[in-house]
């Protein structure tokens, strides 16, 4: 509980600091324009464009807070999450030529460490994980991370997720809200961010990450890390109208 309170305080402080910085920058721009020889009728539109750019910068920065961190209270809804892959037989196992003795639990994806083998695996190419966030948020984006081919012990990443869907779900088995369908491209960066649907009916505390295919491994799929970005629902009302429209 204390970790969640600290995160909320940090977000509120960040909002205040960003708002103050924005106003200071606007004031400086206004002073520079007044000191310039620019015609007065041109200053207004330029100041408006500057204000819009700053509002967008503030909005983008605030919404990239990661709410899917175990250290700040995020957990896994194990009842609605696929079973952890256990390999064939008991004891020590290989995972993509990476040796480990104990299968990592699903909440591995809620932690920032992403060294080879430090992932959660489920059987086959289709599976899902439901993340319970510490608070209700308006989700704006998700970030998915997987090791690159360059650091993979096997030199390949066939167990990486490929096509996946992100949905907002309720606390119980209720109707889902699809937030987007995406493709994780293993030939691009190891960390990839995907923007979600903006027109949301309500904020969510549960986010479902559903893998629909992987990059060719028939036995299992590995997820290294999933981040969920967005705006805290009960702090959203404190943002300016312009910023809320940009979020």
Domain assignments of the chain as residue spans, ordered by start: 2-62, 70-232
Residue 62: the pLDDT is 54
Token code pair at residue 167: 């949905």
Give the pairing of strands 127-145 and 204-211.
antiparallel
Token code pair at residue 5: 């309170």
Residue 87: the pLDDT is 57
Token code pair at residue 175: 């109707």
Taking a C-beta distance cutoff of 8 angstroms, is the pair 208, 169 a contact?
A: yes
- Residue 231 DSSP SS3: strand
Burial class (CB in 10 A: 0-12, 13-18, 19+), 241: exposed
Residue 16: the pLDDT is 62
Residue 14: the pLDDT is 59
Give Cα 230 distance to the centre of its chain.
8
Residue 4: the pLDDT is 59
- The secondary element (H helix, E strand) that includes residue 242 is helix 241-246
Place of tokens 């967008």: 56
Model-level pTM?
0.71
Residue 11: the pLDDT is 62
Among 156, 169, 155, residue whose Cα is nearest residue 206:
169
The dotted CATH code for 70-232 is 2.60.120.260
Taking a C-beta distance cutoff of 8 angstroms, is the pair 155, 116 a contact?
A: no
Tell me the average confidence (pLDDT) per consecutive run of 10 residues in the chain, 247 residues long: 60 62 68 72 72 59 77 93 75 44 86 88 97 94 93 88 97 85 96 89 96 96 95 61 40
């Amino acid at each position: 509980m204390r970790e969640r309170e600290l995160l909320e305080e940090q977000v509120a402080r960040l909002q205040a600091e960003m708002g103050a910085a924005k106003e200071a920058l606007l004031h400086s721009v206004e002073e520079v324009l007044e000191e310039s020889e620019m015609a007065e009728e041109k200053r207004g539109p330029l100041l408006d464009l500057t204000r819009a750019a700053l509002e967008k910068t503030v909005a983008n920065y605030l919404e990239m807070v990661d709410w899917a961190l175990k250290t700040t209270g995020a957990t896994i809804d194990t009842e609605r999450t696929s079973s952890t892959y256990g390999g064939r037989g008991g004891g020590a196992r290989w995972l993509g030529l990476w040796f480990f003795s104990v299968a990592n639990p699903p909440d591995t994806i809620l932690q920032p460490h992403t060294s080879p083998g430090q992932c959660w695996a489920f059987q086959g190419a289709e599976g899902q994980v439901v993340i319970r966030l510490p608070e209700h948020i308006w989700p704006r984006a998700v970030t998915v991370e997987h090791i690159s081919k360059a650091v993979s012990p096997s030199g390949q990443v066939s167990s990486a997720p490929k096509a996946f869907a992100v949905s907002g779900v309720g606390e119980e088995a209720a109707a889902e809200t699809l937030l987007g369908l995406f493709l994780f491209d293993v030939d691009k960066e190891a960390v990839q961010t995907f923007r979600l649907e903006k027109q949301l009916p309500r904020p969510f505390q549960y986010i479902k990450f559903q893998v629909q295919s992987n990059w060719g491994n028939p036995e299992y799929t590995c997820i290294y890390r999933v981040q969920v970005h967005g705006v805290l629902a009960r702090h959203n009302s404190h943002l300016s109208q312009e910023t809320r429209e940009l979020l």
